[in-house]
Structure 1
Amino acid sequence: MKDVEELNQEFYDAIESADLDRMSEIWAEDAGDRVAMCVHPGWPMLSGRSEVLRSWALIMANTPYIQFVLTDVRTMVLGDVAVLTCAENILTAADTDEAGFAAGRVVATSTYVRTPDGWRLWLYHGSPVLQSEDEEEEE
């Protein structure tokens, strides 16, 4: 379980540092029926390792700053499959002409598979958490 949680943290570190090489090492190779899949918040399902990595390259190239604080991390290992759920509390550069930051929250599920090279990410699904106006004002 510790290995999966450490790799999950490396996944977020790779996003924060825009390290596509590290991101490539984290994702599992496509093998038979096991094809990498990814759902970014608000995006359609992406299938296939090359399509998934292309999406991360686009995100990294167009995100000047991003920071994740993970909460509610839960991990379950069943044989050669591990499922990790968490809340991503995200701080990013605001998407406006003015300097500033924007905050958001995403609930994520990541499925890892054990390979001969160790645990690798197979499926990531992020879903935005809508906040009420009261919650936004508190932040």
Structure 2
Amino acid sequence: VKMDEVWTHQEYVTCIHPGWTIRSGWPAVRDSWVLIFNNTFSMKFELSDIMVQVAGDMAWVICVENLVTQQAEEPQQAKILATNLYELIGDEWLMIHHHGSPVMG
């Protein structure tokens, strides 16, 4: 899973997908992404409204994920307001938190 490369594999990582309860710890976070990718035939997204802030060894990105997914016959479109937190570990920025909320309307 490509998510293995962008997340730190620590117990303090957290992930909240739209409509889901919080997933805590790398195994639970990874399993949530595996479940999503295994149950989605195709997924394409473009980011918009991107805001980035860096403070020391922490960074956060707030953006809108414009998703087009296909699980059955008809493609589904959604806008997700996402907050991603990153920690500088060595020379790599690795994700420690993702929170996605649906944009209604």
What TM bracket, shorter-length normalisation? Answer: over 0.9
CA contact (8 A) 2:64 2:82 kept: yes
For residue 51 of structure 2, give the secondary structure of its aligned residue in structure 1: strand
Partners of 1:59 and 1:94 lie apart in 2 by: 10
Structure index of larger Rg: 1
**Larger strand proportion of the pair:** 2
Runs of 4+ in 1 over 6 A off after TM superposition: none
Deviation at 1:119, TM superposition (A): 0.7
- For 2:85, the equivalent position in structure 1 comes to 111
> Residues 70-114 of structure 1, C-alpha deviation per residue, up to 9 Å, x if partnerless?
10011000000000000011111154xxx3211111000000000
- Residues 1:76 and 1:41: Cα distance change in structure 2 (over 3 Å): same
TM-score (norm 1): 0.72
- For 2:74, the equivalent position in structure 1 comes to 100
- Number of residue pairs aligned between Structure 1 and Structure 2: 105
Task: Look up the equivalent residue of 2:86 and give its one-letter code.
Answer: Y
Task: Look up the equivalent residue of 1:60 and give its one-letter code.
Answer: F
Unaligned runs of 5+ in 2: none
- Residues 1:94 and 1:63: Cα distance change in structure 2 (over 3 Å): closer
Give yes or no for the alignment of 1:39 onto 2:22.
no
- For 1:27, the equivalent position in structure 2 comes to 7
Which of these residues, 76, 89, 92, is aligned with residue 66 of structure 2?
Answer: 89
TM-score (norm 2): 0.94
Partners of 2:87 and 2:38 lie apart in 1 by: 28
Deviation at 1:56, TM superposition (A): 0.5
Task: Look up the equivalent residue of 1:129 and give its one-letter code.
Answer: V
**Larger helix proportion of the pair:** 1
- Sequence identity, in percent? 36
Deviation at 1:40, TM superposition (A): 0.3
Alignment of 1:6-17 (within 5 A): none
